[in-house]
Structure 1
Amino acid sequence: MKSAPLPSQKKELAAILLAYIIFAAIFGFAYRYAINPDGVSQLRLAGYIAEGNFLQSVTSSWSPLFIWLISPFLFFGFDGLAAARIVIALSGAGLVLGSWLLTLRIGLSRNSRFIAVLIAALLISDWTVRNIGADLPVAALTIFYIYLATHPDILIDRKISFFCGIAGGFSYLAHHYALPFFLAHYPLMLLLRGYIDRDKNGFPVKKVFMSLAAGVAGLLIISSIWIGIVSVKYGHLAISSKGSIAHAAVGPKDKDRRHPFFVGGLYKPRDAYAIHVFEDPSEVEFKTWSPFESREYFMYQLKLIKDNAVYILNHFVTQSPFFTYAFVIGILTLIPIAFLLNPLNNEKRFLYLWVVITFGIYCSGYLLVIARSPRRFYALMIVFLFISFHFLEEFKNGVSGVISGRRKKILIYYLLIIVVPAFALKPGVHLLKSAKDIVAIEQVNPYKEIAGRISAIQFPPPYAIIRSSQKPHTDTYIAYYLKKQLLGRPLSRDVDGITKELEAADAKSLLVFDNPEIVEKLKKDKRYIHAGAVKLENSKRYLNAVNIKQDEIKGWDKEVNVFILE
């Protein structure tokens, strides 16, 4: 099996990349103002680097690679959202290239490879606007790692093993989960290759061990630098705090274990330059738990594993936001038939085993914590797409001795009608809708507009906010554009209780969006100075903006009153 594209195929790859650029440009322009809490935090951290304050960007809560890639664009004056979209789109192009290379491991014919990677380009372009975060960078690096880890000469050429580790190290810099995945997956891939390549002299133990050492060396060269920096900052060995936070948030319901800054309450960041405590969530005390604390907790962990397993299955089959259910069922029906119609050689045995191992290990980590986000599985979706095309070809080869000529062509078209819509229908419809939205809908950035109106009133940070919207995370979007420290939302509903919370958190100001009763009481309270009010007009047009929901902008058709604590 060839491991590099032939020169004659470069035009096909160029055509796919051009198609990706067009797809990504349409999605990116339609969703250019979409934002999310993780994105706000990472944009802030990237901004510190752009300002020359690298140490302020160091945290165990966020992987650094995506932040590092954004910072040069911010340094040269790019808008934060534009910078993030550019980095994500470029990462998507890398994922398209990695996907093209991976098809060489799966043994697709030239025509099938072109169609499969073109569909992958459509899927990836859709993913570029789903979230501001490191999802596409880590997916691209994971695909490159898998491409290297499945190389037939990995036990012979130590450079391949070393670069496997390098890819694993950069994957860790993109997302902390990549580190345990590499440590569990890479040794098994070497053992699998050793098992497949064993000869009359037996299992190549020495080759496996040397390849493992080379891979781990490559991993440590990259990952140890960041681990060292973070550990020095925190004063102890620190690899990631994200896993424990995520596990705490999905814990038993005997306590409210949700992220506190998205539920309510005032939390002052440790650092004065931070606009919100979510820039470094490790500062917040979460209600952690262990399944070994009690029988009830252990049973809850088992239920969590079951629920996550069901979600992962549903995500790829019945309730996927990207795949079409009816056609995926057709593919799953096709796979065992295609498998039985063809002889099983070592090459296919290796292919099927590494796919099963990769899916099993990658999903198992999320079974313990939380799997409820499609973006965690982008790399696996690419593998699923390509293995589906592989079995389509296997089915075609299996029946080639039975039917031929016109009937064979009809069968091929029929199979394509099953496989192509399974993966291309939903993202294709989304692409058309996005193109329509560009023409038909006025795109606005409501959070930037609101912040611009509020900033006309001078008030000192840090500040708290009162809003009726049940989406506290949108408060951070406004804070990002205000560039003032946000403490959160008071839990109290009366003026005295609110004041006590504000004083305890050392708040200087309070923004009240849509609570006229509280506004009147605050105006009469001598502990507060009414700094001014802003009337938000035409807020209903925000409802047409992409990625804006009614409950996120509730109260924006009224006044925002600003109070300063004396």
Structure 2
Amino acid sequence: MSQNKTKPALGMAESKLHFWLRLSWVVAYVLMLVAALNHLLRLNTDAIAYMRVAEYWSTGNFDFAVNGYWGPLLSWLMVPFLWLGVSPLFAGKMAMLISGGVFFHGSLFLVRAVGLRLVDELIMACVLALTIPGWMAENVTPDLLVAGLMAFALGQAVSPDWLMNRWRSLGGGATWGLAYLAKAVALPVGVVASVLLALCWRLGQAENRSAVWRQLGQSLGLFALVSLPWIVVLSLKYDKPTFSTSGAIAHAIVGPGNDEPAPHPFGSTIYQPEPGRVTAWEDPSRMAYDTWSPLETGESFSHQLLLIGRNTKTVLQFLAGFDGVGVWLSWFGVGTLGFGLALFAKRPWRKNWLTDRWRWMVIPLICLGGVYLPVYVMSVDQRYFYLFLPLLLILAIGQAEVTFAKHRPVAWVCALIFLLPLAWRTPLEPEAGIVAQDLAKRMKKSGLVGPIVGSTFFSAEGHRVGLYVAWHLGQQWHGDLFDSAGEGGDLGAFKRSGARFAIAIPESSLAVLMERDQAFKNVSDRLGEGLFLLVYEILPEGS
């Protein structure tokens, strides 16, 4: 009799959980949409490249659209919106809205796949519903998209029916292929993670050895099938086998002698982009980077080891960077603790470790963190590791389940700890995008339209307002030599740049230099009142 009473009670409890889970979906969608609309004019440098590439795809300019630095998938998501006639900036925000949805549902799917409970899925949904909108509004980049696709692929690989369901292996392989098209880093991460997760199945299911290798082969086969066409296209474009140029560039800028990554040439040299392009950042693959190899000299090899060691410290900090304790201590947090404890299990260790599939999440954590070790990782690059959040939260919840008899309250406490960084997050600055659009409209109305030189760094976030204005005007941007403080440049190079305009912040070092030079004419008065920036026309030599 008591069992009969218990079943309806459990059914009602599960029904309530489903209701709250669906409600969290609605909250997540609303918050993401509001964030996208509230930051509609916010720009970042990478956004310019992705939106320009999307425009090339939408108009059939495949020569400019195909490049090895930017994954094509985010730009492809923008193309249908461009065909509808909306602005590239709105299309970019809609692509980020889709990316946020992919990350949200990919993470929830992963929670179910590792065998956690419905309440744990609700906990994950609550954390992500409040976290994703801020990430989504911050930048137009593929980091949320690739993290979501990797979460879906991992969920397929750890699903309880992976061994016997070929659609799991095929789905995982196809999703890894899409993740590669979003961002090239998914190719090495996907291959290594797929093999290691298959080994987990092999060690835990010795009687199904042949099934493991069959499923792995199908997964990697479809992974290759989805990825190979793009690899062939890139290889033909660059006349050598190429799956991406971003890794080589990321390695080049941290060569010997660079304690910090060297600046990219697109923003630290004066140049004229190819006709039809706004900036060389749309495809920096052929710019003058100082490539190097750790095998060239003993000094280069030592530098590579030092670089890996330094990057390891940074990645370990990111293990702690997604929860409140870790942000407070900066080196150790709930994420770090969960990662460490997940490596251990009761005896017999192998059997128990392999039985708890949530422990397998240490594998993608290691793979994603490890792929960046030879190049560079900076403390501001948290977006590269968005996947860490659901993985670490899964480890924390799983550990709570095996450690505490009443683990549900502990799991909710973990959720609150992972939400604490939201209270300390610096508000986003939309002003740079707003000012850039306003200035571009004024310049166009006044007939002051032409190529622009100089970044005009607007804030500590590093916004290149000069580039933003050039993009809004559809004009070329000719690079820069000055740093964010307006120092270290050469006005002579500005004069010879072929650009017509330069922009400066009032009373900045750059503005003072241009006011003193007769080759720069202040035309700001022609642009109306309430202008936040100064616009200088670069006069032809001898005028």
Decide: shared fold, TM above 0.5: yes
Please give the alpha-carbon distance, in whole angstroms, between the structure 2 residues aligned to 1:324 and 1:532: 44
Q: State the partner residue of 1:14.
A: 22
Please give the alpha-carbon distance, in whole angstroms, between the structure 1 residues aligned to 2:343 and 2:279: 54
Pairing 1:451–2:440 present: yes
Q: CA deviation at 1:31?
A: 2.6
Q: State the partner residue of 1:425.
A: 420
Pairing 1:140–2:148 present: yes
Please give the alpha-carbon distance, in whole angstroms, between the structure 2 residues aligned to 1:331 and 1:212: 30
Q: State the partner residue of 2:292.
A: 289
Is the contact made by 1:172 and 1:179 (CA closer than 8 Å) also made in structure 2? yes
Please give the alpha-carbon distance, in whole angstroms, between the structure 1 residues aligned to 2:343 and 2:517: 73
Structure 1, residues 282-323: CA drift from partner, whole Å, max 9, x if none? 120101112222222222211211111111111222686896
Q: State the partner residue of 2:373.
A: 367
**Greater shift after overlay, 171-180 or 313-322?**
313-322
Please give the alpha-carbon distance, in whole angstroms, between the structure 1 residues aligned to 2:364 and 2:128: 19
1:459-478 mapped onto 2 (5 Å cutoff): 461-465=450-454, 467=456, 471=462, 473-478=464-469
Please give the alpha-carbon distance, in whole angstroms, between the structure 1 residues aligned to 2:318 and 2:511: 41
Is the contact made by 1:323 and 1:426 (CA closer than 8 Å) also made in structure 2? no
What is the aligned residue count?
512
Q: CA deviation at 1:465?
A: 3.7
Is the contact made by 1:263 and 1:472 (CA closer than 8 Å) also made in structure 2? no
Q: State the partner residue of 2:270.
A: 266
1:133-172 mapped onto 2 (5 Å cutoff): 133-172=141-180
Is the contact made by 1:536 and 1:560 (CA closer than 8 Å) also made in structure 2? no
Q: State the partner residue of 2:40.
A: 32
Which protein, 1 or 2, shows the higher relative CO under an 8 Å CA cutoff with sep ≥ 6? 1
Q: State the partner residue of 2:474.
A: 483
Please give the alpha-carbon distance, in whole angstroms, between the structure 1 residues aligned to 2:480 and 2:265: 8
1:158-557 mapped onto 2 (5 Å cutoff): 158-199=166-207, 204=209, 206-253=210-257, 258-261=262-265, 263-269=267-273, 271-317=274-320, 324-325=327-328, 329=333, 336=341, 346=351, 348-350=353-355, 351=357, 354-372=360-378, 373-397=381-405, 413=409, 415-416=410-411, 418-427=413-422, 445-458=434-447, 461-465=450-454, 467=456, 471=462, 473-489=464-480, 498-499=494-495, 501-502=496-497, 507=498, 509-511=500-502, 513=504, 515=511, 517-519=513-515, 521-523=517-519, 534=526, 537-539=529-531, 556=533
Q: CA deviation at 1:154?
A: 2.7
**Greater shift after overlay, 421-430 or 314-323?**
314-323
Is the contact made by 2:35 and 2:133 (CA closer than 8 Å) also made in structure 1? yes
**Greater shift after overlay, 225-234 or 488-497?**
488-497
Is the contact made by 2:322 and 2:389 (CA closer than 8 Å) also made in structure 1? no
Is the contact made by 1:168 and 1:178 (CA closer than 8 Å) also made in structure 2? yes
Q: 1:234 to 1:176 in 2, by over 3 A?
A: same
Q: 1:467 to 1:85 in 2, by over 3 A?
A: closer
SS in 1 for 2:242: coil
Pairing 1:69–2:77 present: yes
When the two chains are superposed, the root-mean-square deviation of aligned CA atoms in Å is 3.6
Q: State the partner residue of 1:50.
A: 58
Q: CA deviation at 1:20?
A: 0.3
Structure 1, residues 377-420: CA drift from partner, whole Å, max 9, x if none? 111221111221121222223xxxxxxxxxx6xx864x356412
Counterpart of 2:464, as a letter, is H
Is the contact made by 2:319 and 2:336 (CA closer than 8 Å) also made in structure 1? no
Please give the alpha-carbon distance, in whole angstroms, between the structure 2 residues aligned to 1:213 and 1:136: 28
Q: CA deviation at 1:139?
A: 0.8
Structure 1, residues 266-285: CA drift from partner, whole Å, max 9, x if none? 1222x311001101011201
Is the contact made by 2:92 and 2:140 (CA closer than 8 Å) also made in structure 1? yes
Please give the alpha-carbon distance, in whole angstroms, between the structure 2 residues aligned to 1:26 and 1:216: 39
1:79-158 mapped onto 2 (5 Å cutoff): 79-158=87-166
Is the contact made by 2:252 and 2:292 (CA closer than 8 Å) also made in structure 1? yes
SS in 2 for 1:561: strand
Counterpart of 2:414, as a letter, is V
Please give the alpha-carbon distance, in whole angstroms, between the structure 1 residues aligned to 2:323 and 2:538: 44
Please give the alpha-carbon distance, in whole angstroms, between the structure 1 residues aligned to 2:422 and 2:458: 31
Please give the alpha-carbon distance, in whole angstroms, between the structure 1 residues aligned to 2:403 and 2:539: 70
Is the contact made by 2:320 and 2:335 (CA closer than 8 Å) also made in structure 1? no
Is the contact made by 1:330 and 1:418 (CA closer than 8 Å) also made in structure 2? no
Unaligned runs of 5+ in 2: 1-13, 483-487, 505-509
Q: CA deviation at 1:103?
A: 1.2
Please give the alpha-carbon distance, in whole angstroms, between the structure 1 residues aligned to 2:526 and 2:324: 40
Structure 1, residues 487-513: CA drift from partner, whole Å, max 9, x if none? 1135796665554x43xxxx2524253
Please give the alpha-carbon distance, in whole angstroms, between the structure 1 residues aligned to 2:269 and 2:337: 51
Q: CA deviation at 1:121?
A: 2.4
Q: State the partner residue of 1:560.
A: 536
Q: 1:234 to 1:494 in 2, by over 3 A?
A: closer
Counterpart of 2:223, as a letter, is L
Please give the alpha-carbon distance, in whole angstroms, between the structure 2 residues aligned to 1:520 and 1:331: 55
Counterpart of 2:320, as a letter, is V
SS in 2 for 1:367: coil
Please give the alpha-carbon distance, in whole angstroms, between the structure 1 residues aligned to 2:336 and 2:516: 63
Q: State the partner residue of 1:400.
A: none
Is the contact made by 2:99 and 2:148 (CA closer than 8 Å) also made in structure 1? yes
Is the contact made by 1:172 and 1:223 (CA closer than 8 Å) also made in structure 2? yes
Q: CA deviation at 1:352?
A: 5.5
Please give the alpha-carbon distance, in whole angstroms, between the structure 2 residues aligned to 1:365 and 1:60: 18
Counterpart of 2:443, as a letter, is I
Q: CA deviation at 1:455?
A: 2.6
Q: 1:561 to 1:534 in 2, by over 3 A?
A: farther
